[in-house]
Amino acid sequence: MGRRIVAFSLVLLVVLTGGCGLLKKAKKPLSKKENEIPIGVAMANMAGDGYPFFKKEMDKGAKPAKVKLLWQDAKNDGPTQAVQVEKLLEKKIKALVLLPADAAIARDIVSKTAQKKVKVLILENLPRDVNADGFLSPDWLRAGELQGELLVKQKFKGNLLVLTAAQPSMVEEALFAGLQRSLQGLTGIKVKQAPLDVTGKPEDVATRAYEALKSQTGIQGIVVQHSLLVPGLIKYLKEKKEKQETLPVTVALGASKEGAAAIAGDLLTADVDTRPDLLAYYALAGASKLAKKEMLEYDQKIKNDGADVPVKVIPVRLIRKDNLYLLEERWGKIKPLAVKSGSGSQGDSKSGESEKKGQSAGESTPSKIKIKGKEGKTLELELKPGESLELEIDGEIKAMKRGKGEEQEGQQGGTESGQGT
């Protein structure tokens, strides 16, 4: 009996001491935030409302995907973007989504990021000679084709101005090639390109577009092939409508909220929607796969910097007034863009109406006439509306005053004063 008790005590001691060891080795479970994969998103700019919507859609999908997104906005400045990416790398990101602000600087960014063994997914504009891990882009060639097809359906004839970025890239080349393809073989259309600097502050870029349009004459159609130039176009169209001038046929790019309102208000003819909702979906999915070192889904590969870069192409669509409802899920109920009343013949008409009202108001109150004779005597008479008065006066009339008019010397001066009230 005593042996059994000793044996039992030894077994119990072993179990207890072993249990203590197990408790010491047990790790604290990771929090939800620690489980999230850090992914950097370096944007060239967040101007307008397309990119903020893109951010909203990515943020919405981040939590279910167990991803932590770290955002940076370079405000269209290349050196700023380079510094921002360095800070993201210091935070141990596993993948980088990059919308380049400057092609040359983007090459350095991708090179440094690769040295840190961080995968890079580039959005919208792939700089030449950059070996990225993936490229996600709207179908720019098709976007240009849609712009041209709208002009064909409108049976457009005349001078066509194309606003595009002065900085050459595959995006501008694809857009213009698509436009030319749609217009190929048509007669009666003269195309003129206006390359504009799209670097710097977005508001400055919009101003350049506006000033370029103001300097043009004899333009019957305008195509914009860079989203930062669209606000300048809309400002130009608003001014023309306010002056009651004939509006040109216009096709924009980006389907912003302001662009949708301009279509609703009959300023803008059409716009190409580059689908920021789909861009956000595939950007999050692609970056997550790259962060986990998984294979990226792609439609094709293009040779760039001696390497095959996987490309996922986002479909685009043309937005007109008859299918404007397609943007309501994104922007809510779309109200026409407010435009001030015209200052031309319509303004003259209002001025005339105002003058008539003033005259009728003056006729509804009694008129007082003061006649001052040569010898200093004054005669004051009051006339009711509709009454007339004839007077025979010997001698010279020194002055005449009616109502609140200024006293004038002589008979002629008194008559002008009366007409002026």
CA distance 201 to 105: 18
pTM over 0.75: no
pLDDT digits (tens, 9 = 90+) for 186-200: 899 999 999 999 988
Q: Which helix (H) or strand (E) holds 89?
A: helix 78-90
Length of the chain, in residues: 421
Phi-psi region of 177 (alpha: psi -120 to 50; beta: other; left: phi over 0): alpha
Predicted confidence band of residue 360 (pLDDT cuts 50, 70, 90) = very low
What values do phi and psi take at 304, rounded to 5? -150, 125
Residue 19 has pLDDT above 60, yes or no: no
Q: How far apart are the first and last CA of the chain?
A: 132
CA distance 205 to 48: 12
CA distance 138 to 312: 9
Task: Give the whole-number percent of the chain exceeding pLDDT 70.
Answer: 73
Q: Domains of the chain, with CATH numbers?
A: 34-138+279-314 (3.40.50.2300), 140-273+316-331 (3.40.50.2300), 364-420 (no CATH)
Q: Are 52 and 20 in contact (CB under 8 A)?
A: no
Region 339-364: what's the mean pLDDT? 45
Predicted confidence band of residue 379 (pLDDT cuts 50, 70, 90) = low
Res 398: pLDDT: 47
Region 368-387: what's the mean pLDDT? 57
Residue 8 has pLDDT above 80, yes or no: no
Residue with token string 């041209």: 148
Residue 307 has pLDDT above 70, yes or no: yes
Res 372: pLDDT: 56
227's tokens: 């989203």
CA distance 369 to 365: 13
CA distance 88 to 73: 12
Alpha helices in 243-344 (DSSP H): 257-264, 276-291, 328-331
Q: Which residue has the higher pLDDT, 112 or 359?
A: 112
The C-alpha R_g of the chain, in whole angstroms, comes to 37
CA distance 62 to 391: 93
Region 213-222: what's the mean pLDDT? 97
Res 58: pLDDT: 98
Res 150: pLDDT: 98
Q: Are 414 and 399 in contact (CB under 8 A)?
A: yes
377 exposure class (CB count in 10 Å sphere: 0-12, 13-18, 19+): exposed
- Three-state DSSP class for residue 329: helix
Residue 7 has pLDDT above 60, yes or no: no
- Give bridge partners of residue 319 from the DSSP assignment: 271
Predicted confidence band of residue 340 (pLDDT cuts 50, 70, 90) = confident
Residues 6 or more apart whose CB falls under 8 angstroms from that of 50 comprise: 227, 254, 255, 256, 274, 276
CA distance 79 to 223: 31
CA distance 117 to 115: 5
CA distance 84 to 111: 15
What values do phi and psi take at 336, rounded to 5? -60, 145
Res 305: pLDDT: 76
Average pLDDT for the chain: 82
Half-sphere exposure of residue 113, counting CA atoms within 13 Å on the CB side? 35
Residue 6 has pLDDT above 60, yes or no: no
Predicted confidence band of residue 288 (pLDDT cuts 50, 70, 90) = very high
Region 77-102: what's the mean pLDDT? 97
Nearest to 164 by CA among 140, 188, 142: 140
pLDDT digits (tens, 9 = 90+) for 115-172: 999 999 999 999 988 989 999 999 999 999 999 999 999 999 999 999 999 988 899 9
* Identity of residue 272: V
74 exposure class (CB count in 10 Å sphere: 0-12, 13-18, 19+): buried
Region 171-175: what's the mean pLDDT? 96
